[in-house]
Structure 1
Amino acid sequence: MDAGITLPFYIAAGALVLGAALAARALEREPVRGGGGSWWAHARERHALTLLRQAPLRMLFGVHFAYACGVAAFYEFFPLWLVDVGRYGTRDIAFVNMGMCALMTCAALFAGRASRHEPRRRAAAQAALAALAILAVGFGSLGIGLVAIVLFGLPHAYYNATIRGWAADQFAAYGQGAVMGLLSTTFCLANIVMALAGGALSVIDTRIVLVVGGLLAITAALALRRWSGQAVTAPANAASAAAEERR
């Protein structure tokens, strides 16, 4: 910050360029499947949202979208809450964010391990704990909110590991890249929706955005809990998945 407020953005851009270069070097180049056609035509016809033709993946999209909206509301507006409630400056917000990310990173080292509990039931409990942290910020004082912001990193890390690991195992026939792409696209859409909705609500009170986010995360937790009692059928291999999609 002493070198200028734009420097962190240049560093972030440099890190992304480096990541792109390393990925281009490391990933093996493969021909586009399915014969001819332009790159744009394949992207248009085979994007991640085509998976929503399958009922189980529509359900996954719905519950993850609700949870992602809650997380987006939290991520995008807890810094504004710190400004409104605690009169925090840029450095203070950065330190709070660092504490949350540090706990999230440490939790990710242990998250996703095998468990005897059904994954969707575990994800439901983790989403509920994340929702409680978001609501604690929305309803709590500055002290309670600071603790809740940092602790949010714990259930969120476990939720991400649980739901992504389960989706990778359950829907492998549809393509691991496609399923992970669907989850990432869902989070991007949630960020757009909550930025628009939250921008309007924050004119009234930033806490309203956080409360709405917490309620959306609770909705996702309840939906996951109900869904955990139902069997999910997926094609055993990619060929049958493609045949089902054509039908």
Structure 2
Amino acid sequence: MEKELQAKSILGVTLFVTLLSVSGIALPYPILAPLFNEGTNPLTHFMSLPKEILFGVIIGIYPLGVIIGSSFIGSYSDRYGRKKVLTLTMFGCSLSYMLTAIAAISGSFVLFALSRLLTGLFEGNIAIARAIAIDLHPTINKTKSLSWISAMGFGGYLIGPLAGGHLAPYGIDVLFFIAGLVCLVATLCCQLLLPNSINRVIEQEDKGSSLVLLKDRSLRQFFILYLFLMLGINIYYEFYPLWLVEKFAYNPAQIGWATVLITSCMIFSSTMLNSKIEKKMTTAQAGLVGMLVVTMALTIVPITSENNFWMTFALVGFGVGIYNGFLTSYISTAYEHKAQGQLMGMLVTIFCVGNLIAAGIGSLISLVQVSYSIWTAALCIAAASILFFRGHFKLALWEK
């Protein structure tokens, strides 16, 4: 009973820290697309480059930082302790957001881009939250705890954009200062509320960054399909605000509410549907269903009207909530002999590689028509679904 209570306490604090952290990350999100679309801010004028390209650089340089950071953060949490590394990276996030606010005040595009890169270096720490959730298994069911971690991440993307959309009139610098304060609160929660017991050292088969895991052929195969999946969802998530601006002339507050719709559906599926689905399907079957739902919804999005697009956005949310909970549990179980911080770091790295590629592909496609970006996202997730079906159901590359 005492062990169960301690596990629930650790999970509760981790969930709260994840919610605070992601809320801070997502707070400035709704203002970036309108800011670069209007083209009146000094940040949107640099070397006479098109504002679409500058927008792509800003949304792309952040995941570049996360790629670099996440490839080591998860692995370091195995070697030096979950609490230590999580606390340090949260404090780094806070400082880097403050620097971003200073860049916004000065109107320096270069400083703004560099500070976004620095922020990304510290924000691969969602891998640590997932690793903590996995460490609590079997005291707390792995799929359940991972789904709740996902739900808190989605909750951050609900609270952050909603607050950011309504705080936008006060200026982008204010948003980034607030994001820094939120991350500072999360830092204090890590230091004061998480027990030192989670700092235990985890033995790694392959020391180094998370990418050393790719020496395993079957993990390389999973890397490819997960990259397609992350590429697709990132193209959609990075460019649907621009689609809403161009097609329906949405303002930051309206974009924030659209994001609320998507993330509410993600949270509902993570906390309510997944536990029911787990009783009916294997983790592999459920993960595939989630991907197929997202593929279908994204195919329809560009041809929907302003009165009906919310239904397709809701389907995207449900699908993401399903696959996000089950695929993470699936790969963790299939490679339970690996250091989980390192493994979760690999997944975050793949997510951000997809984010970076999505920024480049999406910005180029949006120069023609932003709707084509949404269809490209659908094709990528369809490809991931096919690769997963082939790898698991046909070739049995992964055990679970």
1:171 match = 335
Judge conservation of contact 1:134–1:210 (CA < 8 Å) in 2.
yes
1:155 to 297, 319, 322: 319
1:215 aligned onto 2:215:
no
Are residues 136 and 174 of structure 1, via their aligned partners in 2, closer, same or farther at CA, if it must alter by over 3 Å?
same
2:298 to 113, 134, 156: 134
Are residues 142 and 129 of structure 1, via their aligned partners in 2, closer, same or farther at CA, if it must alter by over 3 Å?
same
Higher mean C-alpha deviation, range 216-225 or range 19-28: 19-28
What displacement does 1:161 show? 0.4
What displacement does 1:102 show? 1.4
CA distance in 1, matches of 2:398, 2:324: 22
Judge conservation of contact 1:105–1:157 (CA < 8 Å) in 2.
yes
2:182 match = 15
Judge conservation of contact 1:112–1:165 (CA < 8 Å) in 2.
no
- After TM superposition, list the pairs within 5 Å mapping 1:8-47 onto structure 2: 8-25=175-192, 26=194, 28=196, 29-30=199-200, 46-47=208-209
Higher mean C-alpha deviation, range 208-217 or range 143-152: 143-152
1:100 to 246, 262, 269: 262
Judge conservation of contact 2:291–2:319 (CA < 8 Å) in 1.
yes
Give identity over the alignment, percent.
Answer: 20
CA distance in 1, matches of 2:388, 2:218: 12
1:181-203 deviations in Å (ceiling 9; x for gaps): 11111111111100011111111
1:4 to 164, 170, 180: 170
**TM-score, normalisation: structure 2:** 0.52
1:227 match = 391
What displacement does 1:212 show? 0.5
- Which structure has the higher relative contact order (CA within 8 Å, separation 6+)? 1
Are residues 27 and 135 of structure 1, via their aligned partners in 2, closer, same or farther at CA, if it must alter by over 3 Å?
farther
CA distance in 2, matches of 1:64, 1:2: 34
CA distance in 1, matches of 2:313, 2:247: 14
Are residues 2 and 193 of structure 1, via their aligned partners in 2, closer, same or farther at CA, if it must alter by over 3 Å?
closer
Judge conservation of contact 2:243–2:370 (CA < 8 Å) in 1.
yes
Higher mean C-alpha deviation, range 173-182 or range 14-23: 14-23
What displacement does 1:9 show? 3.0
CA distance in 1, matches of 2:398, 2:248: 50
1:85 aligned onto 2:250:
no
Higher mean C-alpha deviation, range 115-124 or range 59-68: 115-124
* SS of 1:110 mapped into structure 2: helix
5+ long unaligned stretches in structure 2? 1-166
CA distance in 2, matches of 1:110, 1:224: 25
- After TM superposition, list the pairs within 5 Å mapping 1:47-62 onto structure 2: 47-62=209-224
What displacement does 1:24 show? 4.1
1:145 aligned onto 2:312:
no
Which is helix-richer, 1 or 2? 2
2:231 match = 69
* SS of 1:158 mapped into structure 2: helix
CA distance in 1, matches of 2:266, 2:171: 26
Query: Once superposed, what is the RMSD of the aligned Cα atoms?
Result: 2.3
Higher mean C-alpha deviation, range 162-171 or range 24-33: 24-33
CA distance in 2, matches of 1:95, 1:140: 18
Judge conservation of contact 1:123–1:224 (CA < 8 Å) in 2.
no
What displacement does 1:2 show? 6.6
Are residues 12 and 105 of structure 1, via their aligned partners in 2, closer, same or farther at CA, if it must alter by over 3 Å?
farther
What displacement does 1:10 show? 2.8
Q: What amino acid is aligned across from residue 202 of structure 1 in structure 2? A: S
